[in-house]
Chains A and B, each alone.
Chain A
Amino acid sequence: MEKRLIKKNTLTGIAGKMADEFKVWAPVKQEENVIFSPLEKNEQPFFAYLNSKNAPKQIFFPHTETLMKYTSTPKGMVFAAEENKADKTVLFGVRPCDAHSFALLDMLFDQEKYKDQYYINKRNNTTVITLACVEPPYATCFCTSVDGEPVDDKGADILITDIGDNYLVEFVTPKGEKLANYFGETKADAAAETKKKEIAEKAKQAIKSKIPAHEIKPILDVNFENPIWATIHGKCLACGTCTWMCPTCHCFDISDEVKGNDGVRIRSWDSCMFPLFTKETSGHNPRTSQKERWRQRVMHKFKYYVDNFNAIACVGCGRCVMSCPVNLDIRKVVEDIAKIK
C-alpha cells in the first residue's frame, strides 16, 4: 500500500485537524503520568513520550461499560438494550506493542463462535495509528520475545516511523488509507523505505531484555501441579495493578446496579489476582490462595491463549514489571519456569 513522507513538526497539527472530524484519543500528560485520553478542543497531544502509563485497551474495552438498562414498572420489568453506539475514532500514537495487543484481543472478542458486539463496534469505528519505537523506550521492554518488534504494524492501520529527517507514513489497511489526505502529498521513495528497514533492525537489536516465552509452553502443558507454583507468588500483594496496566488482560465481571426502580447491567474489568474473581455464589472459592491465582495468570498468558488462538497473550510492554508494587517480575517468573526439568 501507499507510503508517504511528512515533516517531523506536523504530527501535532495532523492530530488536531483530525479532531474536527473524529474523536481523537492521544497520549496526554496529566501531572507526572502520560495517559491516553480523548483530546479536548485545542488540547495538545504529547508525542514525546516513551509509553503511556496505562494500556490503551480501555478504548475498545472500557473499565466500566453499560450493557443494558431496566426499569421496574407496575406492568413488570421493561428492558432496554443500551444503544451500542461508537463515535468515529482515531487512536493516535500508540506504541507497536499496544497495537499488537489489539490484534490479540480481536482473536478473543471477534472470533467465529463468539462475537462481542460492544468491542467489535468500537474496534471497527476506530483507526489505529501506531508510532514506532525507533529507540526502545525502556530497559524492561521485551517485545521481541513475544512475537513483537519495536517497529511493527501488527494491529495498526497506519504506521508512522521516525526516519531521521522525516516521518515515514505507511498505510497498512484500507481503513488507514482512508485517512491518507491528512498526511500531505509527498510520496515516499525507496531510500526512505531502506532507511526504515535499517532503523527497524537497529531498534530490534537494541531490545536487550529477553524471556523464553515460547519455550515454556511445553513445560506449562505438563506442570500444572509443579511445586514451583508454591514459590513464585509469596510477595504478591493480590492487588490488580499488573492486570489493570496490562494491554492484553481482558477478564471482566458483569454486575447489576439498582437504584429505586431503575437498574443497569454493567460490565467491568476483573482481575485474576483478586480473591473475589473466582468466588462462587455458594461462598466456595476454587482458587483458594494467590498460588492458584498466579498459576492462572501465567497459564492464561503463555499456555491457554496459545492453545486457543496460537498466540501468546503478552506483548512485552513491561508495564507490569515497572508498575508491580513489590517487583514481582514476570520475566523472572517465566525464566524460572523455563528451568523446570
Chain B
Amino acid sequence: MENIESKLREEAKRLLLEKRADIIVGYEKGTLPLTATPCFVSTEAEADKLVYNELCTQNLAKYVHDLITAHKNSQKRVKPEDRKKKVIGVVARGCTTRSLIIHLQERQYERDEVYIIGVPCEGYVDKKNLAKALDSAEIIDGNLDGLQLKIKTAAGDKTIAVSDVIAPNCAVCRFNNPIISDIMVGTPAPVKNPATEYDKISEFEKKDIAERWDYFTKEMEKCIRCNACRQACPSCYCPTCFAEQSQPQWVGIGEDKSDTQVFQCMRLFHMVGRCVDCGSCISVCPMGVDLRNYLKKIDKDCWELFGTRAGSSMEEMPPLGKFSEQDKEDFIYNP
C-alpha cells in the first residue's frame, strides 16, 4: 500500500496546485493504534498526511455531501452571477463511488462538483472481528505490514492476517473497485467472494417469525439512540430527519423500546435501493447493533424483485424511481 499512498499524495498535491479541487477528503492516521480517520486536505503541505490502507473504514461520500451542502448554503445570499463553484476531491473506493452515484442520481450535486480519486480496496479491518481475534485484549500498539497486522496487546504480541479480520461486508463485496472515477490510483484489486453474500439472509428468512421478532427486539434493545448510524450514512442526508420532526412528531426522543424500534425500522426502510453495504453504520455503532442483517435483506429484495443493486451504475435509475412491467405481483391482495 506504500506505493498507493505516495501516488495518492502526489495526486492530491497536483489537484490542489492546478486548482482542480478546493479541498480533498481522505484518510489520515488516527490517534489510537491501528486506526485511520477521515481528514480534509486543502494545502499541498497537508497532503503528506494522507494515508490509504485496510484501516480506513468510513465511507467518505458522507463528507462530500456535507461539504457541498454547506458551501451551497453559504452561497445562498450571493448574487447568482457571483456564486462560486467548489470542487470536492475525494479518495474513493468501490462503495464510496456507489454512494457518490446515489447522490448524483438523486440530484444532490453535479458531477463536476466532485473530483473522484479512485482507489482499489482489499476490504477493511473490522473492529469487532479484530477484538474477537485478540480475545478483547486492548491494543497497545500496532502497525500494518503489507496485509499483516502486527499487534502489541496487553496480553502479548500477535500477528493477524488482514483477511482473517476483514469486515463481513467487505468479505462478500462485489464492487471493491471504483465504478466511476476521474483518476485511478493503484491497480484494481481482485474481486472478493460475492457468491455467498446473501447466505446469512436466506438462513434468517427461514427462521420462525417469533424467532425473527425476538432477534429484532434483542438487537434494538442495545440501541442507545446516539444516531451515529444515521450520521455516518452517506445516504442519510435529509436536512431534517423524520426522527427530529416535531409537527407531527413521528417518534419519541426517549429510549422507549417502541421508539427505538420505530426509528431503526424507518431508517432501515429508507435504504431501499440506497444502501451500498459500505458498513459505515455498523462500524460506528458503539453498541454493536446488528444492522447489516436488515440492510442486506433490503439489498437482497431489491436484487430479487427489481434486478438492481444500489449505486452500481450511473446509467441505471434507482429502483424506487421506476417500474417495470415484469415486476412481480404476488404481494397484491386479491380477495
Contacts and interface: CB of A to CB of B under 8 A. Distances in A.
Interface of A: 30-33, 50, 53-54, 63-64, 137-140, 234-235, 237-241, 244-245, 253, 255, 257, 266, 268, 270-271, 274-276, 289, 321-323, 325-329, 331-332
**Residue picked from B224, B255, B256, B286, most chain A C-beta under 10 Å:** B286
A63 B255 contact: yes
A240 B287 contact: no
Nearest to B228: A239
Contacts of B231: 237-239
Closest 6 pairs (CB-CB, A-B):
A325-B284, A64-B254, A239-B228, A237-B231, A327-B37, A327-B30
Given A235-B38, A237-B231, A238-B231, A325 B30 contact: no
24 contacts: A32-B132, A33-B287, A54-B224, A63-B224, A63-B255, A64-B255, A139-B138, A235-B39, A235-B40, A238-B231, A239-B228, A241-B286, A244-B286, A266-B254, A270-B253, A271-B226, A323-B286, A325-B58, A325-B232, A326-B37, A327-B31, A327-B32, A331-B31, A332-B31
B161 to A, nearest CB: 21
A139 B287 CA distance: 21
Contact of B40 (A234, A289, A329): A234
A139 B138 CA distance: 8
B253 A241 contact: no
B189 interface: no
Nearest to B38: A235
B107 to A, nearest CB: 23
B10 interface: no
Contact of A321 (B32, B33, B227): B32
A63 B254 contact: yes
A268 B255 contact: yes
Contact of B131 (A32, A53, A326): A32
A245 B228 CA distance: 12
Interface in B31-62: 31-33, 35, 37-40, 58, 62
Contacts of A326: 37-38, 58, 232, 284
Contacts of A238: 227, 231
A285 to B, nearest CB: 11
Contacts of A331: 31
Interface residues of B, number: 39
Contacts of B288: 31-33
Interface in B200-255: 222, 224-228, 230-232, 244, 252-255
Contacts of B33: 139
Contact of A138 (B35, B138, B226, B228): B138
B192 interface: no
Given A241-B286, A268-B254, A274 B31 contact: no
A160 B307 CA distance: 62
Nearest to A281: B246
Contacts of B225: 63, 240, 244
Given A237-B231, A239-B228, A327 B35 contact: yes
Contacts of B136: 32
A56 to B, nearest CB: 14
Given A32-B136, A239-B227, A240-B227, A276 B244 contact: yes
Contacts of A53: 286-287
B176 interface: no
B232 A239 contact: yes
Nearest to B128: A32
Contacts of B256: 64
Interface string B109-131: 00000000000000000001001
Interface string B145-163: 0000000000000000000
Given A63-B254, A235-B63, A329 B31 contact: yes
A326 B281 CA distance: 12
Contacts of B232: 237, 239, 325-326
B31 A244 contact: no
B124 to A, nearest CB: 14
A274 B226 CA distance: 9
B195 interface: no
Given A32-B128, A244-B226, A327-B35, 4 more contacts: A139-B138, A245-B286, A268-B254, A326-B58
A54 B132 CA distance: 20
A325 B231 CA distance: 10
Nearest to B40: A234
Contact of B283 (A30, A234, A253, A325): A325
B191 to A, nearest CB: 28
Contacts of A270: 253
B220 to A, nearest CB: 14
Contacts of A332: 31
Contacts of A235: 37-40, 63
